[in-house]
Amino acid sequence: MTTFEYVAVLVSIVVGLGIAHLLHGVGRLISHPKRWKIYWVHLVWALFTFLFLVHFWWWEFQMSTVEVWTPQLYMFLILYAVLLFLVCVILFPNDFADGRSYREYYYGRRRWFFGLWLGVLTVDTIDTMLKGGEYVADLPITFWQYQLGGVVFVCIAMVTRNARFHSACAVIFTLIQLGWLFGLRQPIS
């Protein structure tokens, strides 16, 4: 087993747990639709998060080119996966009581949710740089626009309860993520 394969196993487990948590949360909503008041913006963020996790797993294969793995790099990659897992936990808490509104929950936890996304965007930028100069040079300018725009949007989302802003952000981020995913041309080999 190579060092990358060893690292990838733990990262895949954490990402898999995040995906399982999201799917479990959505499954609870489907199987018991009258227990909670569903908020569509919350569900769009759940979709975005799912897509991001899938995208993260795919692109982390680029780390297979790393020749020297240090404990710091290993911990950094685990931190990235843990941040994504925590986003999933914030979206669907285990102790969500019957009759509660996901709208109120979403706005009540927006600082945590978007604070974690700010962490993810920061770690994602560092992760991108770790993949090397050639990799970074090949990235389209839209990647950097997305990163910068993402930081601005999540900072605003942490402080505002404006429903239109949150609705627009959820839809725009999800459409962009779909565009990135369906535009993938890098095969895993």
The label of the residue with tokens 């993260």 reads 56
| CA 125/CA 121 separation, integer angstroms | 6
pLDDT of residue 187 exceeding 50: no
Contacts 24+ apart (CB under 8 A), 36-40: 36/96, 36/98, 36/99, 36/100, 36/101, 36/102, 37/99, 37/100, 37/101, 37/102, 37/103, 38/102, 39/101, 39/102, 39/103, 39/105, 39/106
101 strand-pairing partners: 37
**pLDDT tens per residue across span 26-67:** 999 999 888 888 999 999 999 999 999 998 888 888 778 778
Contacts 24+ apart (CB under 8 A), 58-61: 58/184, 58/188, 59/186, 60/8, 60/11, 61/8, 61/188
**pLDDT tens per residue across span 110-121:** 999 999 999 999
Sequence length of the chain is 189
132: left (phi over 0), alpha (psi -120 to 50) or beta: left
Nearest-CA neighbor of 76 among 113, 111, 112, 128?
A: 128
Mean pLDDT of 19-23: 97
Residue 71 identity (one-letter amino acid): P
pLDDT of residue 92 exceeding 60: yes
For residue 115, what pLDDT is reported? 97
37 strand-pairing partners: 101
Q: pTM for the complete prediction?
A: 0.89
Domain ranges of the chain: 3-182
For residue 188, what pLDDT is reported? 43
State the alpha helices, DSSP H only, in 65-140.
71-91, 102-108, 110-130, 133-138
